[in-house]
Structure formats: C-alpha cells, structure tokens
Amino acid sequence: MNASKTEMVNLNPTSSFSISMHLEVPNRSGMLASIAQGIASIGGNISSLDITEQTRNLSRIDVTVDATSTEHGDRIVEVVKMIPEVRLTSTFDRTMQLHRGGKIRMESKIPLTRQSDLAMAYTPGVGRVCMAIANEPERVYELTIKCNTVAIVTDGSAVLGLGNLGAAASMPVMEGKAMLFKEFAGLDAFPICLDTQDTEEIIKTVKHLAPVFGGINLEDIAAPRCFEIEARLRQELDIPVFHDDQHGTAIVTLAALMNSLKLVKKSLNTVKITINGAGAAGIAIAKLFTTAGVEHICICDSKGIISTSRTDLNPEKQEFAVEQTGTLADAMVGADVFLGVSAPGVVTPEMVKSMAKDAIVFAMANPIPEIQPELISNDVAVMATGRSDYPNQINNVLAFPGVFRGAIDCRANQITINMCLEAAKAIASLINPNELNREYIVPSVFDKRVATAVASAVQKAAREEGIAKY
C-alpha cells in the first residue's frame, strides 16, 4: 500500500486542522440545521457553534470546524459559502492563528520598581555575583538560570515527518517543545535553531553556548549525523545531552511495549519484534529494547531487511544486521510486534494478518500512520499510534520533561541508557493492573504524575551509577 492509497482511508477530523468561520444568516428556523448538514456532508466535525449576536432578522454565528487536512478545510469553507442565504464574513486557520507572534516569551522573575531593585538585579550589585561565580564556578547553578534551563537545538534537517525544512521553518516545533518543558516539568527551555547542517559547526556552536544551559535537548537532526553529534557532545560537555527523537521515542515505546506484553502474556526475551525505520528513532528503540532484554529484533529500512548480506549499511545499522533477507512483508511474518517509525501506508492488512497470534502493532508515523487502525482493529491485540485522536498515543512528552527534570536536579553530567530504561519502567508502572486494557497501555500526556515519576526514576538511576553531583 502506498501513501496515496492510505489517504483514501477516512481520517478522523482533528483540531490541528480546525477552522473558524464568522457567518451572517437570516434569523429563521432551519438555518443552523442547513449549515450543520452542509458541513457534515463533506466530513467536517463542528467542535463549537456560538451565536454572537441576534436581531429580529439576522444572526451572527461563529462556527469552529475540525477538518482532516488544509485542503479539506478549504472544501468545507466552499461548501458553507454555497449554502443559500449564508454570508461568510471571515475565516481563519486556528492553528496558524495560535502560532501568530510565536508561542513563548521571556519574563522577569522579579519586579523592577525602585532604584534599590535595579541596584541589586543589575549594576552595581550584579558585579559581586559575577565575582562569586568566577571564584567558585559551581555557584553558576545557584546564582543563574543554568539550574533550570534547557537548550533545544536543531538544524532543521528532519522536522517532524516533513523533512529538511531548515532552521527558520523548524522554529514552531522548537517553540512547542519549549512550552512542553515548561508545562510538564517547570523547565525554561529555549529554541536554538542553527543555520548550518555541518556536523562540526553544530558541535562547536553548542559547546560555545553550553555555559548558559543545564542540559541540551537535540531535536529534529537527520540520521546518521545525529548519532555523531550526540556522541561527541556527550563526550565533550559536562551537562546532560539528550536526542529526543532517539531516546525520548525509545523510552515511551518501551513503556508501551512492557504494558502491552502484560496483556498478551508474552515476555520481552521471547517476542519477535519487527521495526520499520532505521533512522534515529528506530536504532535508539532497538538499543533500548536490547538493554531491556529483547533478543529477537529485525529492522527494515526502505530497501528491506537490514541484512548481513547488504553492503550499504552504516555502523548503526550494521549493529542490528541479521542473516534473514527480504522485504518488510517477509519480516512481519510470524512477528509478535510490529513497530513503525517510518512512512505512511507501508503496511497492509494482509501483512498484519501474517503476524503471530495476539499481535501488537505500534504504527507511529505521523500524521498518517503505517496502517490506519480502522483497517486492523479486529486483527490485533493492541494498537498504538503517534496521533492524539486514537487510543494509546505514544508521545515523547511522557519522557523528556521528566528525564531532564531529574537529570538537572541531581546535576547528572549525562543521561545513560540505564536512566532511560528506568524512565520507561516508571511510565509503565503508572498504569494499574486493574486499569490496563488494549486501549490504555500508557498514561495520558496530561497525567501530572508522569514527569514526577520519571524524574524520580532518573535521579535514582543516576545516583546508583555514580554520576549525580547533587
């Protein structure tokens, strides 16, 4: 199945493609019904409808509609325009409107209302603080924002599933990431979008910026460069460095797998797992799974199974090469688990039916998964995606805020694979056995217990490994 066929599947409307329309209609019976019918006829979902003004003859109405795509939203608008006696006065894309002017800002923690405030916060009082840090460098954590600040670093080379968009176009994602750090872990994070995709330049720049930050979150950097950048920065900096596309994805996926296996009564060391996607996320998932005890992993890329017979493998892929050859379809035969971090529509129902009994499918390509859940709901024991409009969303926000909170609070100088493993266990443990079911294998992203549990697990692991300074 290719992407064009996948797009023919009826997707659920989502707020990410919502539009608002301001309408003027005659104040007459049946007008609201005709508007609702028109929107429904083309598959739009009305999420809110508000009569803002009403006279004897006229009603002014604000209608918010969820669509499945930008194009779908445009078609909804055209249908509404064609409804007799309905006048569309304005419309706007709600997502675009939300991003207007950016989503974050810097605010001062203290008021500056008197001369004495200024004298302490800035000159001349600030000079004493500078000298204190110069004499005792560790006091930078006590006396500056370093103790609570994360740099979100990208080169824009692998933005979401959209590809190489560059530094400027990556900013909305990094701003969103900063919001999540603040909301879920109370951390002040800032987008650092670098206008270079040269590995050495990125490493050099991050090292120069590092004194300001308590941790470095690498984001949306294409493989295989991301592997070298992370490895080098981990070696050359004394603060935690974490590539969320790799390790955040791996942590949450492992948590989801642990709970899914409880449902089907299978174990990590016996299941056969097929991973489609051999980039940053796929390789990191395989490494963490191996650490957790998984013994049978087959990874596929766009050319098929990562096989020892191939001569085109980078070192990261070579680590997981197997003797088996063939296509993704071949790799899925008899597999207990399919895990996709790849592309839309690459899996068919027939491929899923070839899997073992009580199959587990994590189709995490976003926004369109490797296979639509509706096509295989009766053929699998557990289904998960990366989307918020289906059960079991595998979302990195369950991991990275707590990981950084824990690492920074205990002043760990790195984030190890064991810290990631313990973070995954902490996430999985939040689902009580009596609550666990095929549509509830990971906590909600709004579960306030998550970041605290992850932070605690990360700190405990760091202390056990002897890398915590505080």
Q: Where are the chain's structural domains?
A: 3-99, 118-239, 246-470
Cβ atoms < 10 Å from Cβ of 228: 16
- Residues near 79 by beta carbon (within 8 Å), at least 6 away in sequence: 38, 39, 41, 42
% of the chain exceeding 90 in pLDDT: 83
The one-letter code for the residue type at 268 is L
Kindly write down the DSSP assignment for every residue of 245-299, as one continuous string: IIIIHHHHHHHHHHHHHHHHT--TTT-EEEEE--SHHHHHHHHHHHHHT--EEEE
CATH architecture classification, 3-99: 2-Layer Sandwich (3.30)
Active site residue 204: no
Kindly write down the DSSP assignment for every residue of 44-102, as one continuous string: -EEEEEEEEEE-SSEEEEEEEEEESSHHHHHHHHHHHHTSTT-EEEEEEEHHHHHHTT-
The one-letter code for the residue type at 319 is E
What is the mean predicted confidence (pLDDT) over 91-107? 91
**288-301 pLDDT, tens digit each:** 999 999 999 999 99
3-class DSSP state for residue 194?
A: coil
Structure tokens belonging to residue 33: 């019904």
pLDDT class for 3, splitting at 50, 70, 90?
very low
Q: Which residues pair with 150 in a beta bridge?
A: 189, 215
- What CATH number should be reported for the domain whose range is 246-470? 3.40.50.720
Task: State the catalytic residue, choosing from 5, 81, 122, 470.
Answer: 122
Structure tokens belonging to residue 419: 């810290």
Active site residue 177: yes
**Domain 118-239, CATH number (from 3.40.50.300, 3.40.50.10380, 3.30.1130.10, 3.40.30.10):** 3.40.50.10380
Task: Indicate the DSSP class of residue 14.
Answer: E
The b/e string for 59-93 (b: 16+ C-beta within 10 A; e otherwise) is bbbebbbbbbbeebbeebbebbeebeebeeeebeb
d(CA 68, CA 83): 21
d(CA 339, CA 360): 8
**343-370 pLDDT, tens digit each:** 899 999 999 999 999 999 999 998 789 9
Torsion of CA 67, 68, 69, 75, to 10 degrees: -50
Task: State the catalytic residue, choosing from 146, 177, 287, 317.
Answer: 177
Same fold, 3-99 and 246-470: no
**387-412 pLDDT, tens digit each:** 887 899 999 999 999 999 999 999 99
Q: Where do we find the tokens 């199945």?
A: 1
Residue 1 has pLDDT above 50, yes or no: no
pLDDT of residue 117: 87
